[in-house]
Amino acid sequence: MGLKESADREVSVRSFTAPRGAERDLTFRAAILRLTRRSMFLVGMLGLAIPAVYVLSLLVFMDKQISWKYDEFSSTAGLLIWDKLLIMLLGAASLVLSLTRIGPKFGRLMVGLIIVLACMATLMDDLARGDVSLTVAWLALILFVSLTVPYRLWHTLVIGAAVIGGFVLCVSYASGIMGWPPSEAGPEFLIFLVLVTVACSGISGLLYGSLYYQHQARRMLAATNRELLRTQAQLVQSAKMASLGNLVAGIAHEINTPLGAIHSNSNLAARALDKVAEALDPGEEIHQSLRVLRDMNAVTQKASGRIDTVIRALRNFARLDEAERKRVDLHEGIESALTVLPQPAGKNISVVRRFGELPEVSCFPSQVNQVVMNLVLNSMEAIDSEGTVTITTRRDGDGVVVDVADTGCGIPPQDQQRVFDPGYTTKGVGVGTGLGLSICHQIVESHGGRIDLTSKPGEGTVVTVRLPIGH
């Protein structure tokens, strides 16, 4: 399924709330955990600040007296402080919990418990005074505080149900049990709390769902960016290969004609020398001159043969005229890549071939040759001054395996998971593009194969390519 089809399907099934099991996505779970800890910190600060400001305001501006008991003075003259201290204690607990290593579920449970306990402390204080009208406003405020926590809809419903249930039970029975004056709680109070609970639950569900779909959108955007980088890398490399093909075709055309003439003239000169030697009875000086001419002619033939081999290797490596799959000998492609690959300047690197018996493989020859060349080039660049690059081939069931091993500097463990990412390079800024291994990974996967890397810093790296034989 392509990215567009995946995005369309995601939008078509989207609801206002997050789906069940949303936190099975570990990255989303981590994001929710961070938000939960921030919310616990905020709830803790509110739990400490609001009661403190409330108490100080009454003491300073209304000249209240502090009392710990309900029967020392009337509610109009005194300030009962035990419930405010309890709320501040709960706020401090929330602050401590925000600094601990807890999961999002446990953190939300703790904040919910703190909210319910704060509601009950406020309610018990006003029940002792015989007036619960202010309590309803307090309960609504504390329920709204729950919106700072990334709750799902049913989480806030449970908290609201606990608050409403506690309110009904306390108003009905607590005053009689504790000997407090009876409190009047009209039905409008209960209706108001129910409406606040429903509103908070809906808002919580919408916020949580919004967080989830924002996270999904970011993931989809990241996947699209990775796909664009891979496509860009492939286009860049395809352009390079096309340029190489044009260069090879031009070189082959321009060199083959004079090379044919040189090769033909060399053969003709050799035969002419043989006839001259047969026709004459040369002396020692002429005989020595003929030997020199034969040696020069042999060197010329060897040089022209070498040029012809390089041209054939270049054409075999590019294979741009073979746009379709075909069965090829991998060893021939490896030899072509090694022929056109220059020896790095200032380095003494030996290439060891350990070729096994391989059947012909169905593939795109130019792409597979490109993979081999990139891997061998990376291995050579990983060697500082002197070392060995070993190419091993073998058959493995219905596939073939090509190992490219080097004795270079190796790759740190923390970087080994990123080597196939587009743009990642260990060669430094302005040296490497970070596209080589990414393109190799894409080519091997498009052939139905797999590419793996193992490395030990200071010992070297082994890249293993597995390709199916195909039909």
Inter-axis angle of helices 330-340 and 284-318, nearest 10: 120
pLDDT at position 465 is 93
pLDDT at position 19 is 85
CA distances from 383 to 143, 349, 393, 409 (A): 65, 8, 22, 6
Give the pLDDT means over successive 10-residue stretches in the chain (471 positions): 46 65 87 89 88 83 65 53 83 88 83 85 76 80 85 90 86 76 78 90 90 89 80 66 61 70 76 73 68 78 75 60 74 83 79 92 84 87 89 92 92 80 57 63 87 89 91 66
Q: Is the separation of the CB atoms in 439 and 375 below 8 Å?
A: no
pLDDT at position 401 is 94
HSE, CB side, 13 Å, CA atoms: give it for residue 440: 27
The residues near 410 (Cβ < 8 Å, ≥ 6 apart) are: 382, 455, 456, 457, 458, 459, 460, 461
The residues near 437 (Cβ < 8 Å, ≥ 6 apart) are: 374, 378, 419, 420
Phi, psi for residue 80 in degrees, rounded to 5: -80, 125
pLDDT at position 462 is 93
If DSSP codes are grouped into helix, strand and coil, which group holds residue 67? strand
d(CA 26, CA 30): 6
pLDDT at position 254 is 66
The residues near 403 (Cβ < 8 Å, ≥ 6 apart) are: 390, 391, 392, 393, 462, 463, 464, 465
pLDDT at position 252 is 67
